[in-house]
Amino acid sequence: MNTVVSNIQILRAVAAQSVATYHLQPMINASFGTDLKLPVGAMGVDIFFVISGFIMFYTNHRSDRTATEFLANRFIRIAPLYWLATGCIAVLFVLGFHPNGLHHLTPEIFIRSLMFIRSDFPDGRTDLVLSLGWTLIYELFFYTLFATTLAVSSTTFRLLIITTLLSVAVTTRFAFTLFSEPPPLLCSTILFEFWFGCALASLYLMWKPMRSRSMLIVATGTLVLGIALSIQGAAFHQERLDEWRVVYFGIPALLIVSAALLYERIGLRGTNRIALLLGAASYSLYLFHPILLQSTVKITARLLPSNSDLSPILAALSASAVAIAASILIYLQIEKRILRAGHNFTKKLNRNRVVTSGIDNTKLHAQISTAASTTISRLTDLELQVTSSGYSLNNTEHSSDTTRT
C-alpha cells in the first residue's frame, strides 16, 4: 500500500512556509522599520500537529512494528537533524553572532537543549537553544503515547486508547490549575490536535466517496471555512501557548487538513514534483529557516536602499528563496541519508526480532517433534508387549487343550 498522501505532502510544505513567514516578519521589521504583524502564519504548527496525528495513525494501521521499533524510527527521524540545527546556532554564537536573539549560552543549556529539556535564560524565558524545538517536545510525547497502541490491531481500539491517554494528559493540566500550580508543559490542550489527525485517519481509511460535484463543493467549502476561521482566529493568537489555541487555530487546521484529504479521496491530488519535493523537505525548512532567514535579511538590508518601499519586499522574497533552496539541499544531502540510516536500523531490529522468533519457533517445533517421537515409540513398545502377551496366552490355551485330550 502506498502510504504517501500527495495533498498532505504538499500541505506540509504550506505549513512550513507559513511558520517561516511568521518568523520572517519581525526580522524584516527590525531591519527596515516596518510593522508587519500577520500572526496567522503561526497556525502552520497546528497544521503540522494534525498532519502528524494523521500520518502516524494512517501509516501504522497495518504495521507489525513493535513499540521499540516505532520509537527508534521516530527518534532517528526527529533528533539528529534537530541536533544539527541546534549545533549550528551554538557555533554561530561562539563566533560572536546572536542567532535568533540568542544572547546567553552555556554548555549546560546546550546539552539540555539537545535532550529536549528547556532551560531558564537571563531574560526570564524558559526555552531551548532552538526555540521552535518546543513543538518537537510535543511530537515526541505524542509518539510515546501512540506507541502504546501498536499492540492492538483494531483501528477502533487504537483510537480509543489514544483518546483516553490524551484526555488523561490534558485533564491533568486542569487538576494542577485547581491547586494554583503551574501545569506541566506536556499537559496542554494542543495535544488534541494530534487526536484530530488520528480521527481523520480513521475516517479516511473507512470512507471512500465517489467523485461528484457535491463532494467537490463539500471539500472546497471545508477549505474556505478553514481559511476564514484561521484568519479570524489570528486575532486571539498569543506568543505564549494557551489552552484556547486548540480552538482558534486547531479547528481551522482540522478543517484545512480535512479538505486536503477530501480532495485526495475524490481523485484531485497534487502531482507537481516541485511541490512534493518542498513537502518532503518541510522538516529541514522548519528547523533551519530561522538561521537562513535572519542571515539573508541582514545581508540584503546592507545591500538594498533603506528608503525604498520595495526593499522590505525584495528582502523578504530573497530570504524566502534562500531558505527554501537551502532546505531542499539539506534534505537531499543530509536528511535523506539520516532517514535511510534510520530505516536500515529499524529494519535490522525487525529482522533480529523475526530471527529470534524463528529460533524460538524452531526450538518449540523440535520439542514437539521429540515429544511426539517419544510418545510414538512408547505406544509401539506397549503394542508389542500386548501382542506378545496375546501370543503367550494362546499358546497356554493350546497346551491346556492338548493335555485334556
The tens digit of pLDDT for each residue in 33-45 reads 999 989 999 999 9
pLDDT the model gives residue 403: 36
Q: Tell whether the model's pLDDT for residue 366 goes beyond 90.
A: no
The pLDDT of residue 356 is: 55
The percentage of residues in the chain with a pLDDT greater than 90, rounded to a whole number, is 66
- Judge whether residue 317 has pLDDT over 70: yes
Q: What is the pLDDT of residue 242?
A: 79
**Is the pLDDT at 166 greater than 70, yes or no?**
yes
Q: How far is CA 75 from CA 68, 196, 212, 260, 364, in A?
A: 10, 22, 41, 27, 35
Q: Cα–Cα distance between 66 and 50 in angstroms, integer?
A: 23
Q: What is the DSSP letter of 248?
A: I
Axis crossing angle, helix 134-147 with helix 67-94, rounded to the nearest 10: 170
Q: Find cell 494542543 and name the residue.
A: 190
Query: Where is 120: in which H helix or E strand?
Result: strand 119-120
List pLDDT tens digits, range 39-82. Answer: 999 999 999 999 999 999 999 988 778 899 999 999 999 999 99
- Which CB contacts under 8 angstroms, 24+ apart, belong to 216-220? 216/266, 216/268, 218/262, 219/259, 219/262, 219/263, 219/266, 219/268, 220/259
Give 218-261 pLDDT, tens digit per residue: 999 999 999 999 999 998 887 777 789 999 999 999 999 999 99
Q: Where are the alpha helices (DSSP H) in 310-335?
A: 310-330
Report, as an integer, the average pLDDT of 287-303: 96
Q: Is the pLDDT score of 2 beyond 70? A: no
Residue 106: count other Cβ atoms within 10 Å of its Cβ: 9
Cell 502564519 appears where?
A: 41
User: What confidence tier does 379 reach under pLDDT thresholds 50, 70, 90?
Assistant: very low
Under 8 Å between Cβ of 232 and 255:
no
- pTM score, whole prediction: 0.85
Highest mean pLDDT pick, 138-147, 238-247, 340-349, 394-403: 138-147
Q: Residue 158: what pLDDT?
A: 93
Strand partners, 127: 119
Q: What is the pLDDT of residue 373?
A: 59
- Summarize the confidence of residues 390-405 as an average pLDDT: 39
pLDDT of residue 392: 39
Per the document, the length of the chain is 405
pLDDT score for 395:
42
209 DSSP assignment: P
Task: Specify the 3-state DSSP secondary structure of 126.
Answer: strand
Among left, alpha and beta (phi > 0; psi -120 to 50; other), residue 28 is alpha
What confidence category does residue 176 fall into, taking pLDDT thresholds of 50, 70 and 90? Answer: confident
For position 377, what pLDDT does the model report? 59
The angle, 0 to 180 degrees and rounded to 10, between the axes of the packed helices 273-280 and 282-303 is 100
Overall average pLDDT of the 381-395 stretch: 45
